[in-house]
Amino acid sequence: MIEGITIYEILTLTTILFFIGVYGFLTRRNLISILISVEMILNASVVNFVIINKYLYPDELQGVLFSIFIIAVAAAETALAVAIIINLYRQISSVEVKDTEVMKY
Amino acid sequence: MIVFAIAAVSSRRMLRSVVYLLFVLVGIAGIFFLIDYNFLAAIQLTVYAGGIIVLIIFSVLLVHHIELKLEMAKPLRQIITAIACLIGMGTFLTTIYSHQFNVIENNVTTTTAQIGSKLLSYSEGGFILPFEVISVVLLAVMIGAIIIAKGKKLTNKSNN
């Protein structure tokens, strides 16, 4: 654990980060910006897992392992989303959410 | 870090907001270093700050003109969303602060070897099954991303 920093302060930080991500997710009008916001939300949850593991159950490793899986899934999701965005841009020349009407054949 | 996070979701230029996101991710890696999980910090730096940021920058450069300014939501909608987020944040924070965590004072250092043996152990509490599943998921995603990004040309060929 970090000397002089309580668990409350770090949980406050991750809560603020999470809701900034939610705010960006709801207000942005662009697929890539939405992707950025999702990354931020996932990262806040990863930090929560790790902090709770370290402060409350220092002898266990579950939080760390789960955060590794979360990071892997987030990377996969980003790669897939970028592929979809590029393909969509080829077809409709736009990445705005309101123009996205052709997600099926 | 919070300043950079706010900048990342409110900056109107795409590339700048990606760079702000990079700063946020590096800050989180700094937190991991501080609580002595060096392996996680290394993962965070390589996968997020290395891989994901480069991917997003690539897609931004492929898709946008650099000078293009983004279209933002209406101010009313922004304010409503901000209020909703603040309400949610207040709920979360009151819940967190009203709960009594029994923090264990410790200085345990977790080595990478411990993480690896836990990840690959067959015994109770081992994580071998999720590990294999995640590797299959990564493979499937790679193939799927290639096929999706190839797009039209491939489907035309298979249709003909």
Domain ranges of chain B: 1-100, 111-160
pLDDT tens column, B99-120: 887 777 777 777 788 888 877 8
Please report the pLDDT score of residue A102 as a whole number: 66
Chain A residues with beta carbon closer than 8 angstroms to that of B35: 1-2, 50-51, 54
pTM for this prediction: 0.83
Percent of chain B residues topping a pLDDT of 70: 82
Nearest to B151 by CA among B159, B103, A47: B159
What band does A41 get if pLDDT is binned at 50, 70 and 90?
very high
Does the beta-carbon distance from A82 to B104 stay under 8 Å?
no
Nearest residue of chain A to residue B58 (CA atoms): A82
Residue A28, classed as helix, strand or coil, is strand
Residue A85 CB-density burial (10 A; 0-12 exposed, 13-18 middle, 19+ buried):
buried
Total of domains in chain A: 1
A99 touches chain B (CB under 8 A): no
Nearest residue of chain B to residue A93 (CA atoms): B63
Please report the pLDDT score of residue B154 as a whole number: 47
Average pLDDT, chain A: 83
Q: Calculate how close chain A gets to B78, using CA atoms only, in Å.
A: 6
Please report the pLDDT score of residue B38 as a whole number: 85
Q: Does the residue A42 lie in any domain?
A: yes
CA of A10: how far to CAs of A35, A98, B93, in Å? 24, 37, 11
Chain B residues with beta carbon closer than 8 angstroms to that of A29: 70-73
Please report the pLDDT score of residue A24 as a whole number: 85
Q: Which residue has the tokens 């509490």?
A: B125
Q: Does the residue A1 lie in any domain?
A: no
User: In the beta sheet, which residues pair with residue B72?
Assistant: A28
Handedness of CA B40, B43, B45, B49 (dihedral sign): negative
Backbone φ, ψ for residue A28 (5° rounding)? -75, 155
Q: Which residue has the tokens 């990079």?
A: B22
Does the beta-carbon distance from A7 to B103 stay under 8 Å?
yes
pLDDT tens column, B19-34: 888 888 888 888 888 8
Under DSSP, the state recorded for B35 is T
CA-to-CA distance for B54 and B65, rounded, in angstroms?
17
Does the beta-carbon distance from A69 to B43 stay under 8 Å?
no
Chain B residues with beta carbon closer than 8 angstroms to that of A99: none
Q: Does the residue A27 lie in any domain?
A: yes
Does the beta-carbon distance from A90 to B152 stay under 8 Å?
yes
**Interface ipTM > 0.90:** no
CATH number of domain containing A55: 1.10.287.3510
Q: Calculate how close chain A gets to B35, using CA atoms only, in Å.
A: 5
Q: Residue A46 belongs to what domain range? A: 8-99
Which of B14, B34, B100, B103 to substitute to test the interface with A, most A CBs within 10 Å? B103
Helical residues (DSSP H) of B11-151, grouped into ranges = 14-34, 38-43, 53-63, 75-98, 112-119, 128-150
CATH number assigned to the domain with residue range B1-100, chosen from the 4 options 1.10.1040.20, 2.40.160.60, 3.40.800.10, 1.20.120.1200: 1.20.120.1200
A93 touches chain B (CB under 8 A): no
CB A27 within 8 A of CB B78: yes
For residue A54 the two structure tokens come to: 């370290």
Q: Which residues lie below 8 Å from residue B18, measured CB to CB, with a gap of 6+? A: A36, B8, B53, B56, B57, B60
Does the beta-carbon distance from A86 to B81 stay under 8 Å?
no
Which of A3, A14, A33, A41 to substitute to test the interface with B, most B CBs within 10 Å? A33
Neighbouring C-alpha atoms within 13 Å toward the C-beta of A85: 25
For residue B29 the two structure tokens come to: 């890696």
